[in-house]
Amino acid sequence: MLILLLALVSGAAGQPAARAAEPASVAPAAELSIRDAIVLGFIEGVTEFLPVSSTGHLIIANQILGLNSESNLADAAGRTIWYKRPTEKEPGVPMTVKLAADAYVVIIQFGAIAAVALLYWRAFRSMARGLTGADPAGLRLVKNLLIAFMPAAVVGLLFHDWIERHLFSIGAVVAAQVAGAIFMLYAERRQIQRAAKGGGRRQLADLGPRDAAMIGALQCVSLWPGTSRSMMAIVGGYFADLEARQAAEFSFLLGFVTLTAATAYKSLQSGPAMIAAFGWSHVLLGALVAAGAAALAVRSFVGFLNKFGLGLFVVYRLILALVLAIWFLI
């Protein structure tokens, strides 16, 4: 609950007075405070590779921090900042505080991506050598990561707008947290039973294309905010009979591929408008905080998973869902 409390305390401290006095239609393009950038960067970094859903936590944080306003943003000259510029056929979509915040929390994932690249540089070196034909295991890992990445990439592109319209809400996050907790509990019990029978011993090098495709199919479910991409990848690794450590590491590497694609796409789509709204310094600060938090989370999570399994995360998700339901819905 530390992450939720951090956002709640930050929100309770109050937003700058200028925000309360803003007109409803046009707001200044400086909605994000240094405190907001640090809080969002910390939440992104800690939750991105844990089975608790970074997107779900960031949706909650944006609401608590008051970054869900639909007021349009303008630059210093009073000109509208466009999320999607008008064309002859389309009227265009002005950049709002909410749209800018949604883009921000995706783009600062570059920090979490960098953390994984540094921590798992040996795996990336092996994959690079595999592409040159010098490391067969590295080449198999590359192929498996691409197979696991493709299903969610295709579904995400096809249903991106629908997901943002219908699933980016507190209610959807609460439902996904509960459903994910139940699914994790089933997977954890299954893993324990298989380990008792001598299963759960495979290594990443043993993973086949069919296993990777199964993990990729599970990744599609994680497009529902609150489910958790890393949780689905870890559970998929369990179903593929990987050790807990190996399942977590495959999740981290798959996250690198997925996050790189998602962050690059979002940066090209709305990065310039988001920077015009929030400024470069806030983006760099958020990414830096996310990198440090992700490095700490990744380094500690593997050992924790080996020792305690997913059980405590099941409890965390259920408690979080209950608190959110009481706080926002009831």
Domain count within the chain: 1
Burial profile 311-327: b = 16 or more Cβ within 10 angstroms, e = fewer: eebbebbbebbebbbee
- Quote the pTM value: 0.84
Cα angle, residue 131 at apex, residues 128 and 132 outer, rounded to 5°:
95
Q: How far apart are CA 83 and CA 265, in angstroms?
A: 14
Cα angle, residue 94 at apex, residues 154 and 268 outer, rounded to 5°:
40
C-alpha closest to that of 31 among 267, 263, 279: 279
Residue with tokens 């993973």: 207
Residue 74 placed within a domain: no
Asked if 273 and 84 count as a contact pair (C-beta separation under 8 A), the reply is no
Burial class (CB in 10 A: 0-12, 13-18, 19+), 120: middle
What is the structure's pLDDT at 200? Answer: 58
* Per-residue pLDDT reduced to its tens digit, 277-311: 888 888 999 999 999 999 999 999 988 998 889 99
Asked if 149 and 257 count as a contact pair (C-beta separation under 8 A), the reply is yes
Asked if 222 and 156 count as a contact pair (C-beta separation under 8 A), the reply is no
Mean pLDDT value across the chain: 86
Asked if 148 and 154 count as a contact pair (C-beta separation under 8 A), the reply is no
Residue 281 placed within a domain: yes
Which two tokens mark 285?
């600060």
Residue 102 placed within a domain: yes
Asked if 249 and 234 count as a contact pair (C-beta separation under 8 A), the reply is no
* Per-residue pLDDT reduced to its tens digit, 220-264: 999 998 899 999 999 999 999 988 889 999 999 999 999 999 899
Strand partners, 74: 28, 80
Domain interval for residue 203:
2-12+28-67+80-329
Residue 302 placed within a domain: yes
Asked if 321 and 140 count as a contact pair (C-beta separation under 8 A), the reply is no
What is the structure's pLDDT at 307? Answer: 87
* Residues whose CB falls within 8 Å of the CB of residue 280, separated by 6 or more in sequence, listed in order: none
Residue 75 placed within a domain: no
What is the structure's pLDDT at 71? Answer: 81
As a whole number of Å, the CA-based R_g of the chain is: 20
Q: How many residues can be counted in the chain?
A: 330
Residue 183 placed within a domain: yes
Helix axis angle, 244-278 to 209-221, nearest 10°: 40
What is the structure's pLDDT at 199? Answer: 63
Which two tokens mark 178?
């509960």
Alpha helices in the chain (DSSP H): 2-12, 17-20, 34-47, 54-64, 97-107, 109-119, 121-131, 136-166, 170-196, 209-221, 229-239, 244-278, 280-308, 311-324
Residue 224 placed within a domain: yes
Asked if 188 and 237 count as a contact pair (C-beta separation under 8 A), the reply is no
Cα angle, residue 227 at apex, residues 256 and 314 outer, rounded to 5°:
105
CB atoms within 10 A of CB 2: 10
Cα angle, residue 67 at apex, residues 274 and 176 outer, rounded to 5°:
105
Asked if 47 and 1 count as a contact pair (C-beta separation under 8 A), the reply is no
Q: What is the pLDDT along the chain (330 residues), one digit of tens a residue?
A: 434 434 433 444 444 333 333 333 344 354 688 999 999 999 999 999 999 999 889 888 988 898 888 888 887 778 888 888 888 888 888 888 888 888 999 999 999 999 999 999 999 999 999 999 999 999 999 999 999 999 999 998 899 888 888 888 888 999 999 999 999 999 999 988 887 877 657 778 789 999 999 999 999 999 998 899 999 999 999 999 988 889 999 999 999 999 999 899 889 988 888 888 888 888 999 999 999 999 999 999 988 998 889 999 999 999 999 998 998 876
Q: How far apart are CA 103 and CA 97, in angstroms?
A: 10
Q: How far apart are CA 41 and CA 34, in angstroms?
A: 11
Residue 23 placed within a domain: no
Q: How far apart are CA 94 and CA 99, in angstroms?
A: 9
